[in-house]
Structure 1
Amino acid sequence: MNFVATLLCVLLALLATDGVECISFMLPPNVKKCLKEEIHKDVLVTGDYKLSEAPGHKTLLHVGDSKGHTLYTKEEAQEGKFAFTTDDYDTFDICFTTKLPPGMRGVEREVTLDVKRGVEAKSYEELAKSEKLKPMEIELRRLEDLSEAILNDFAYMKEREEQMRDTNESTNSRVLYFSIFSMVCLLSLATWQVFYLRRYFKSKKLIE
């Protein structure tokens, strides 16, 4: 019952914050700026970008993962879209690099970026046209996809919790065994020292 209530609360929260605000930042000349984000496996990611006018500037847009794979690249990025589907859980980089010819003074470019993933990235308008669905059916389909995404997130969180628990248990076991081994070594050394000193004192006839 608690799980169902939590799921409903998350659904309502996501529905209430369905509008995704894009981000914007200033990009100085001859500077590289990157945005990083961790995304799960088999997730659709889309992005809309737009750069302000800047004569003489050439801005490179590169989207890649931590393994060095290029998912999208644009030599002279000005305005456009990109989309890709993740093959595995990974960290993805969206990098803007602006270059200016030597001796030329430049200005900062304003970069506007709107990235959506999962349910947010799907175009339900096109789905409605292709499958001839009614507005209520489209909303139900969207809620179904949203609930599936939330369940997948819960399953991933549970899996990560199990992995962390196994790691903690393994670490605790290793620490325990190392502690026992250290105590045995110390006791053995202390015993050896006692017998050695006793034999030494006997040899010097300091004790009987």
Structure 2
Amino acid sequence: MKDRRIYIMSRFCASIVFSLLFDFGSCITFHLPVNVNRCLREEIHKDVLVTGEYQVSDQPDANTILKITDSSGHTLYTKEDATKGKFAFTTEDYDMFEVCFESKYPMGTGRVPDQLVTLDMKHGVEAKNYEEIAKVEKLKPLEVELRRLEDLSESIINDFAYMKKREEEMRDTNESTNTRVLYFSVFSMCCLTGLATWQIFYLRRFFKAKKLIE
């Protein structure tokens, strides 16, 4: 019983450490000049919940557009006159996703200060609302942290599984490439051997025709 209690507490402490690591530095802040499009890219796995919260500093007459797309150009989220809000979507496949902010401003109005953009984007375990889960499932604080740790462990396992799959694909590609190189090398050697043999017989006939050899 004591060992089990120590085991639960160790997992609880580990979950807190992981939570701190994941929460730290998740917010991004940058300046957006007028009539400029700036994008952030991130690779995200399949079937992963992605949430985000953004805030753009107020700029009179400026229209800031937020657009989220995948590598195929499919729009996952778009917002005209984006000043402050939230977004959420679930990925359908492992892909590179792009979050773009574009500031449009009437030309000929002189120098305009840059807008300050703040983006807090989370995915996977970070994006889940465990307070809501605790209310729905009536979980205790320790059970919530264990659930968070379980989800985090599952996420890490999925990452390793994806890395293993990619490693297998790369190994198959390397083996296929090596096989093709081997076949090409054998074919090249056969061609060179045939060419050398043809040259020998050709020169032999040529020298015989010139009566240089018997």
TM-score tier (shorter) = over 0.9
Describe the SS at the equivalent of 1:18. Answer: helix
Is 2:24 the partner of 1:20?
yes
AA aligned opposite 1:19 = D
Give the Cα–Cα distance (whole angstroms) in 2 for the partners of residues 143 and 167 of structure 1: 36
Q: When the two structures are superposed, what TM-score results if normalisation uses the length of structure 2?
A: 0.90
Is 2:187 the partner of 1:181?
yes
Is 2:53 the partner of 1:29?
no
Residues 116-135 of structure 1: pairs in structure 2 closer than 5 A: 116-135=122-141
Name the counterpart of 1:171. 177
Residues 54-203 of structure 1: pairs in structure 2 closer than 5 A: 54-105=59-110, 106-203=112-209
Give the Cα–Cα distance (whole angstroms) in 1 for the partners of residues 22 and 100 of structure 2: 26
Q: When the two structures are superposed, what TM-score results if normalisation uses the length of structure 1?
A: 0.92
AA aligned opposite 1:114 = D
- For structure 1, list consecutive stretches of 5 or more residues without a partner in the other structure: 1-7
| Residues 15 and 146, structure 2, Cα contact 8 Å, conserved in 1 | no
AA aligned opposite 1:160 = R
Name the counterpart of 2:8. none
- For structure 2, list consecutive stretches of 5 or more residues without a partner in the other structure: 1-10
* Greater Cα shift, 98-107 or 75-84: 98-107
1:118-148 deviations in whole A, cap 9, x for unaligned? Answer: 0000000011111111111111111111111
| Residues 51 and 77, structure 1, Cα contact 8 Å, conserved in 2 | yes
Give the Cα–Cα distance (whole angstroms) in 2 for the partners of residues 131 and 77 of structure 1: 35
Runs of 4+ in 1 over 6 A off after TM superposition: 10-13
Superposition deviation, residue 20 in structure 1: 3.4
The aligned length equals 200
| Residues 11 and 147, structure 1, Cα contact 8 Å, conserved in 2 | no
